[in-house]
């Protein structure tokens, strides 16, 4: 087994980049465990492993005593003195005990240890790679769909798109390309590969799509201040730029509306309202109710309530279908908004 074992270690180190030290430690632990399980359960046993040759032996450590009560952990002084006259009561006597038929058991234990360490290393590499993508968008394709999840293939990882993270009305077809927002990457302690949870309904999915399409957002010239979304139906996004020469809304819309159009297409025609963020709360609330036109606004700073007045013909537009427009405006501004007519 010695030559084959060392050859396997060399191969794994070269191809997978796992250090010999880590591999040897895994093998030594496995051999010692297999020995205790199959041949000697004594706690006072150590493994002497030659990392240059691959040879090994088990050494049982016993207390030197005048009278033996438990031969598993005690060794008679009389016998110890025959080996070395310097032995005294209380010393540790070590004797080699490597069963002849341990070879097969040891080879299997070493193989399993290497395979497990290899799986752990690959899992760790994947985790370290994908944890960097947490909070980002990745492109992949739909691998399969069952009653609970949509499984999305992202390189070597199969990500999970849960029901709550899907967009109502979207159809998920196996092998179809898809963009997803990586919500969380977790590293299981045993067994499976890292768990990657993804979303298409998350509000930050909108942010990342705009970052991809709008250079001014990517480089920080234009800032996304807040997003409110009802996935599959409508999104409001508030943008701002410190540079007075830059039209933040215009940058997001793009020439001839190309930038926002590409995002709308990715979202299967979900409506997007892009409004200018403003330090003045009243102005920001007025902007958030677009496309409705506001006649007057009264602010209650203490309770964070805004009373907004609109004309009769603007009421339905301000409230929106089933209250959606005012609801999204309230989420965008983090204020309670009451609509009334003049």
pLDDT score at 242: 94
Q: Under 8 Å CB-to-CB from 46, ≥6 apart: which residues? A: 32, 58, 59, 61
Residue 282 lies in a domain: no
Please tell me the total count of domains within the chain.
4
Instruction: Say if residue 86's pLDDT is above 70.
Output: yes
Give, as one character, the DSSP assignment of residue 25: H
Whole-angstrom distance, CA of residue 77 vs CA of residue 209: 79
pLDDT score at 125: 67
Do 206 and 195 share a structural domain? no
- Rounded to 5, what percent of the chain is helix, strand, coil? 40, 30, 30
Residue 316 lies in a domain: yes
Nearest to 72 by CA among 89, 53, 97, 99: 97
Are 239 and 274 in contact by the 8 Å Cβ rule? The answer is: yes
Q: Maximum distance among all alpha carbons in the chain?
A: 111
Q: Under 8 Å CB-to-CB from 69, ≥6 apart: which residues? A: none
Range of weakest confidence among 140-149, 193-202, 221-230, 323-332: 193-202
pTM over 0.95: no
Mean pLDDT, the chain, as a whole number? 89
Instruction: Say if residue 298's pLDDT is above 80.
Output: yes
pLDDT score at 133: 85
Location of structure tokens 């009560």: 69
Do 9 and 78 share a structural domain? yes
Q: What is the CATH number of the domain that holds 19?
A: 3.30.1480.10
Whole-angstrom distance, CA of residue 148 vs CA of residue 172: 13
Report for 28-42, 91-105, 200-214: range of highest mean pLDDT: 200-214
Do 188 and 121 share a structural domain? no
Taking residues 244-267, report their average pLDDT: 95
Domain range spanning residue 244?
202-277
Helix 102-131 crosses helix 2-16 at what angle (to 10 degrees)? 10
Q: What is the CATH number of the domain that holds 169?
A: 2.40.50.140
Whole-angstrom distance, CA of residue 3 vs CA of residue 224: 61
Residue 133 lies in a domain: no
Ordered alpha helix ranges (H), the chain: 2-16, 20-38, 77-83, 102-131, 203-213, 215-218, 248-253, 258-266, 281-288, 315-319, 324-333
Residue 94 lies in a domain: yes
Nearest to 224 by CA among 234, 213, 212, 238: 238
Taking residues 137-148, report their average pLDDT: 93
In this prediction, residue 106 has a pLDDT band, given cuts at 50, 70 and 90, of confident
Do 177 and 213 share a structural domain? no
Backbone angles phi, psi at 199, to 5 degrees: -145, 155
Range of weakest confidence among 1-10, 114-123, 231-240: 114-123
pLDDT score at 193: 65
Burial class (CB in 10 A: 0-12, 13-18, 19+), 101: exposed
pLDDT score at 288: 96
**Domain termination site, one of 125, 153, 174:** 125
Identify which has the larger pLDDT, 156 or 123: 156
pLDDT score at 191: 56
Residue 131 lies in a domain: no
Give, as one character, the DSSP assignment of residue 52: T
Identify which has the larger pLDDT, 299 or 189: 299
pLDDT score at 107: 78
Q: What percent of the chain has pLDDT over 70?
A: 96
Taking residues 71-80, report their average pLDDT: 87
Pairing of strands 45-49, 92-96: unpaired
Taking residues 71-100, report their average pLDDT: 87
Instruction: Say if residue 342's pLDDT is above 80.
Output: no
Strand partners, 96: 59
Do 100 and 6 share a structural domain? yes
Rounded to the nearest 5 degrees, what angle is found at the Cα of 298, between the Cα atoms of 293 and 304?
110
Instruction: Say if residue 254's pLDDT is above 60.
Output: yes
Instruction: Say if residue 98's pLDDT is above 80.
Output: no
Taking residues 241-261, report their average pLDDT: 95
Identify which has the larger pLDDT, 160 or 127: 160
Taking residues 271-286, report their average pLDDT: 95
Peptide bond before 143: cis, by omega within 30 degrees of 0? no
Strand, helix or coil for residue 42: coil
Taking residues 225-233, report their average pLDDT: 96
Instruction: Say if residue 147's pLDDT is above 70.
Output: yes
> What is the CA 241 to chain-centroid distance, rounded?
32
pLDDT score at 192: 60
């Amino acid at each position: 087994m010695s030559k084959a074992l060392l050859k396997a270690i060399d191969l794994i180190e070269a191809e997978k980049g796992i250090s010999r030290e880590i591999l040897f430690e895994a093998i030594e632990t496995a051999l010692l465990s297999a020995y205790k399980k199959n041949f000697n359960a004594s706690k006072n046993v150590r493994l002497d492993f030659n990392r240059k040759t691959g040879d090994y032996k088990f050494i049982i450590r016993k207390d030197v005593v005048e009278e033996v009560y438990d031969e598993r952990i005690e060794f008679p002084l009389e016998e110890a003195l025959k080996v070395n006259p310097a032995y005294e009561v209380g010393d540790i006597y070590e004797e080699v005990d490597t069963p002849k038929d341990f070879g097969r058991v040891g080879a299997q234990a070493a193989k399993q240890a290497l395979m497990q360490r290899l799986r752990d290393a690959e899992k760790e590499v994947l985790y370290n790679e994908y944890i960097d993508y947490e909070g980002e968008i990745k492109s992949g394709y739909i691998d399969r769909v069952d009653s609970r999840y949509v499984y999305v293939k992202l390189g070597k990882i199969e990500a999970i798109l849960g029901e709550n993270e899907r967009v109502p009305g979207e159809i998920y077809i196996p092998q179809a390309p898809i963009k997803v927002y990586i919500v969380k990457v977790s590293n299981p302690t045993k067994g499976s590969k890292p768990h990657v949870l993804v979303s298409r309904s998350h509000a930050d999915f909108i942010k990342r799509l705009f970052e991809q399409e709008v250079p001014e957002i990517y480089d920080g010239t234009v800032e996304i201040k807040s997003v409110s979304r009802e996935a599959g139906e409508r999104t409001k996004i508030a943008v701002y730029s410190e540079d007075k020469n830059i039209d933040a809304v215009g940058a997001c819309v793009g020439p001839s509306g190309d930038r926002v159009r590409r995002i709308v297409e990715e979202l299967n025609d979900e409506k997007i309202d892009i409004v200018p963020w403003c330090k003045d709360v009243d102005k920001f609330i007025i902007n958030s109710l677009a496309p409705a036109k506001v006649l007057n606004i009264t602010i209650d700073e203490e309770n964070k309530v805004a009373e907004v007045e609109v004309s009769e013909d603007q009421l339905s537009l301000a409230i929106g279908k089933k209250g959606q427009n005012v609801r999204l405006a309230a989420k965008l501004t983090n204020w309670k908004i009451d609509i009334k007519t003049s």
